[in-house]
Amino acid sequence: MSLSIGDRPSLIDAGFHWMVALALATAFALQSPLFAQGLQREEAIDAIVGSEVKTEEVEAESASERIVAAIGATTENARRVRKTFSLDEIDIVFLPDLEEKGSGIAEALAEHESEIEMLRESIEGSALFFHAVDSRSIQLTDVVALEYADDGAVTIFVKGGANGN
């Protein structure tokens, strides 16, 4: 089969159209949730964390003994955060009244300020903990303590209310 010079532009046009169609199909496929899973999707967060992240709001004074104990264990808990790769359960406890002065919690926070900063850095360096906190739009600067329970659950104490107040 011989091609004449007049046939070449139509062959080039057909090849060009095929390449454009393939490029558009590829771009569409990459935008599909099947192929691209963003870290903000609940399924991605659950896969990273390995369990559901639960939240609740508690008055700080009603759990002050527990919070002060968690603050006192901050150095050890920061080390454990770096070594934890899976969890059974993560609870995030918002403490809207944490800023009240004169409480044992305020004293513990002031006394362990540098250790709490180390805990925040450990959380930031852990995909597991960071995505659990980030999935609830919590700033790392609002994390005040973390508690490991004997049953494999972890509680993260956060200053402020669940709605960002």
Position 14 scores a pLDDT of: 65
Residue 26: pLDDT band with limits 50, 70, 90: low
pLDDT tens string 92-151: 999 998 876 667 898 999 999 999 999 999 999 998 899 899 988 999 999 999 999 988
Helix (H) / strand (E) containing 98: none
How far apart, in Å, are the Cα atoms of 10 and each of 1, 6, 13, 16? 16, 8, 5, 10
* Most trustworthy range by pLDDT among 3-12, 23-32, 117-126: 117-126
For 57-97, how does the pLDDT look when each residue is reduced to its tens digit (9 = 90+)? 998 888 899 999 999 999 999 999 999 888 888 999 999 98
CA dihedral 85, 160, 44, 125 (to 10 degrees): -40
The total of other beta-carbon atoms located within 10 Å of residue 159's CB is: 20
**CA 98, CA 93: separation in Å to the nearest integer?**
11
Average pLDDT over residues 27-40: 49
**What pLDDT, on a 0 to 100 scale, did the predictor assign at position 116?**
97
Give yes or no for residue 5 having a pLDDT over 70. no
Model-level pTM? Answer: 0.70
For residue 10, how far is the Cα from the chain centroid? 53
Helix (H, G, I), strand (E, B) or coil at 78: helix
pLDDT score at 7: 52
89 or 17, which is more confident? 89
Average pLDDT in the 43-64 region?
75
CB 58, CB 95: distance < 8 Å: yes
pLDDT value at residue 33: 47
